[in-house]
Amino acid sequence: MKILQVNKFYYPHRGADKYFLFLEKLLKSHGHEVRVFAMSSAKNLESPDAPYFAEEIDLHNLTWKNKIKASRAIIYNQEAKRKFKKLLADFQPDLIHCHNIYHQLSPSILDAARQAKIPVVMHLHDYKLICPNYRLYTEGSACQRCCQQRYWECVKHRCLENNFSKSLLAFIEMTVHHRFLKIYKKGVTLFIAPSEFMKKICIDFGWQDDKFIVLENISPINSTKINSEIKEYFLYFGALEQEKGIDLLIRAGAESKRPIKLAGTGRAEHELRNLALKLKADVEFLGQLQGDKLHQVIAESLAVVIPSRWPENMPLAAIEAMGLGKTVIAANIGGLSELIKTGDNGYLFPPEDWQQLAEYLKQLQAPEALEIGKKAAASRKDKTEDWHYQKLITIYQTVINKKEL
């Protein structure tokens, strides 16, 4: 099968990008011919498809002139569409699998695919399909104000970084794409939702049920050997952002007097460091970790904590930790309850309830953490690369053959 994988980043930036790169390798290992389309960047991995890549748009470092150009590209990136059409003509794929394309690539490439009559599946790694700021979170709490395409709420509440102009652009983007052009509805054959929660909330926002299929994420680092040499710290790894609820973990750590390690970087780091100092919490900031260094820090932890405020979809952090035989303590929000059952393979606490989180931190000791971790690994043992591949290839074949799901 000839498969074109599409994502705006071609390097391991966040969870969606790691999955995109993992999937490219997985499909190639099964003998499929895989090509990729992304945005140019000095951070990119090497690829023979790089000459086709769209021009880089760095949304964090724009001059006024480039802001105007970037705004047009966010709505409809003509340059990306031209290069994508060239790749389609040269490669002639059987199917296109899109991941995160919004902003830098834009859904203009979906028009190119539709014109070429090539079916498209799209992975929903976040909530951009229904939410202008892609998080279902604003003003410090979960939000569903834009349900049924009420995108003006984004401007009213300054949902993009509390910035009027960015929020206005997001409103225009969503309105053009969904109310006027209906570009995702027309251009995507099937959406792949990593959780039942994702599918349900998209339907609640007005999408049709038959546009979605659920395929749970997997971790490429599942381990058959659980590390018994664990240390006494609790770990969070991921982006240091407000919606991730890391301040709740710091408060719980201070209350329970248990050590915390944070692996990652983000806009909330300075605020979190100040909070840790103020509360005299035992918190170590490890910075950005990847590969073996990250896996070692996970494996040696007593448990991994996911204290999110926003409705997590199907976080790879939880899946990776469970695959390594770690107890996961998580907020009961979004798709996390589909992974974790309290007292069985982990623990859930009510969102924002740092006191309950503190109780879990106080109570959890190494013997119980190891036992729960074994159950966590066992709950993931059937979710292998081969399981995921077989499920995915069935979706591909169904879409190509235009059979009903």
| Global pTM value | 0.93
In a domain, 225, yes or no: no
Same domain, 285 and 245: yes
Q: Give the C-alpha separation, 209 to 191, whole Å.
A: 10
Starting at the edge strand found earlier in the chain, the sheet holding 190-193 runs: 33-37, 2-6, 95-98, 120-123, 190-193, 212-214
Q: What CATH number is associated with residue 145?
A: 3.40.50.2000
Cβ proximity of 53 and 104 under 8 Å: no
DSSP calls for 103-168: TTT-THHHHHHHHTT--EEEE-SSSTTT-TTSSSEETTEE--TTTTT-THHHHHTTTTTT-HHHHH
Distance CA 189, CA 171 (A): 25
Q: What's the token pair of residue 173?
A: 């983007």
What's the confidence (pLDDT) of residue 405? 39
b/e burial code for range 136-173 (CB count within 10 A of at least 16 → b): bbbeeebbbbbeeeebbbbbebbbbeeeeebbbbbbbb
d(CA 79, CA 76): 9
Paired tokens of 361? 């931190």
Query: Tell me, what's the pLDDT at 116?
Result: 97
Gyration radius of the chain over CA positions: 21
Cα(84)–Cα(105) distance, integer angstroms? 10
Helices 108-115, 78-91: axis angle to 10 degrees equals: 30
Q: Establish if 43 belongs to a structural domain.
A: yes
Report pLDDT for 404: 41
What does the pLDDT read at residue 228? 76
Q: Are the beta carbons of 130 and 185 closer than 8 angstroms?
A: no
Of 285, 273, 282, give the one whose Cα is nearest residue 254: 282
**Main-chain phi, psi angles of 362, to 5 degrees:** -60, -45
Do 23 and 70 lie in one domain? The reply is yes
Contacts of 59 (CB under 8 A, 6+ apart): 70, 103, 104
CA distance 216 to 142: 23
Residue in this structure with the two tokens 């959780």, named with its chain if needed: 195
Contact 196, 265 (CB under 8 A): no
The answer to whether residues 204 and 275 belong to one domain is: no
In this structure, the answer to whether residues 199 and 288 fall within a common structural domain is no
Whether residue 63 is contained in a domain is answered as yes
Q: Are residues 299 and 207 in the same domain?
A: no
Burial class of residue 239 (count of CB atoms within 10 Å of its CB; 0-12, 13-18, 19+): middle
Structure tokens that stand for 1 in this block: 């099968």
The answer to the question of residue 224 being in a domain is no
Three-state SS at 253: helix
Cα(first)–Cα(last) distance of the chain, in Å? 20
Q: Do 26 and 163 lie in a common domain?
A: yes
Q: Are residues 70 and 139 in the same domain?
A: yes
Local mean pLDDT, 10-residue blocks, the chain (405 residues): 98 90 97 98 97 91 77 95 98 98 96 97 97 95 95 96 94 97 97 98 97 91 69 96 97 98 97 98 96 92 97 93 95 96 96 98 96 94 94 97 59
Q: Do 190 and 294 have their domain in common?
A: no
Give domain status of residue 82, yes or no.
Answer: yes
Q: Please give the pLDDT value at position 109.
A: 98
- Classify residue 170: in a domain, yes or no: yes
Say yes or no: 28 and 134 in one domain.
yes
Residue 316 lies in a domain: yes
Number of H helices, E strands in the chain: 15, 14
Indicate whether 227 belongs to any domain: no
Beta bridge partners, 236, equal 262
For residue 74, give the nearest of 153, 165, 205 by alpha carbon: 165
33-37 and 328-331 beta bridge pairing: unpaired
Do 375 and 246 share a domain, yes or no? yes
Our count of domains for the chain comes to: 2
Provide the pLDDT for residue 277: 98
Where in the sequence is the domain holding 396, given as residue range(s)?
Answer: 2-218+385-401
Residue 395 and residue 309 share a domain: no
Using CA atoms, how far apart are residues 80 and 53, in angstroms rounded to an integer?
8
The residue type of 116 is: A
CA atoms within 13 A on the CB side of 149: 12
Are residues 155 and 113 located together in one domain of the fold? yes
Say how far apart CA 186 and CA 194 lie, in whole Å: 21
